[in-house]
Structures are given as structure tokens and as C-alpha cells.
Amino acid sequence: MERSLWKCFDACTRVLLAFPLCVPGTAFYRCMQGRKRVMKMLKEQLGARRNGPEREAIGFFDLVIHEMDKRL
């Protein structure tokens, strides 16, 4: 997972100087694909934390869940 996140981050930093053309093979396209993968991983982790047992330690996802529950 850590290696995959690094690849996504690397693709996003390379796109800073690329032309924003979302065509397969371009740096911008790879960045957008990496963004989708990272968002999917974050949503999965958030869902697992939300449906899991309560924890004493408070982390980033706990704060996000608390803020999301306040809106409902």
C-alpha cells in the first residue's frame, strides 16, 4: 500500500509541469488515475474505521467520522 501511495504522489508531482490533457499515456492522465486510487483507498479505510469497534485513541479518521456525524 505504501509503495502504491508513493507512485500516486510521484505521478501528481510530475503533472505540475504537464499540459492538462486527460488522454491515456500522458502525465495528467496518470495523475488522475492515481487520484482515483488514493480516494478509493481512503474511502475504504474510512468505511472500515466507521464500521469497526470503538477505540480509545483518536486519530484522523475518528475526527473525520465525528465531523460527518455532526452534519447528520
DSSP letters for 3-70: HHHHHHHHHHHHGGGS-----TTSHHHHHHHHHHHHHHHHHHHHHHHHHS---SS--HHHHHHHHHHH
For every one of its 72 residues, what pLDDT tens digit does the chain have, with 9 covering 90 and above? 556 777 777 777 777 777 787 889 888 888 888 888 888 988 888 888 888 877 676 788 778 888 888 865
Q: Please state whether the predicted TM-score (pTM) of the whole model is above 0.75.
A: no
pLDDT of residue 32: 86
pLDDT of residue 69: 80
Structural domain span for residue 63 = 2-71
Q: How many domains does the chain have?
A: 1
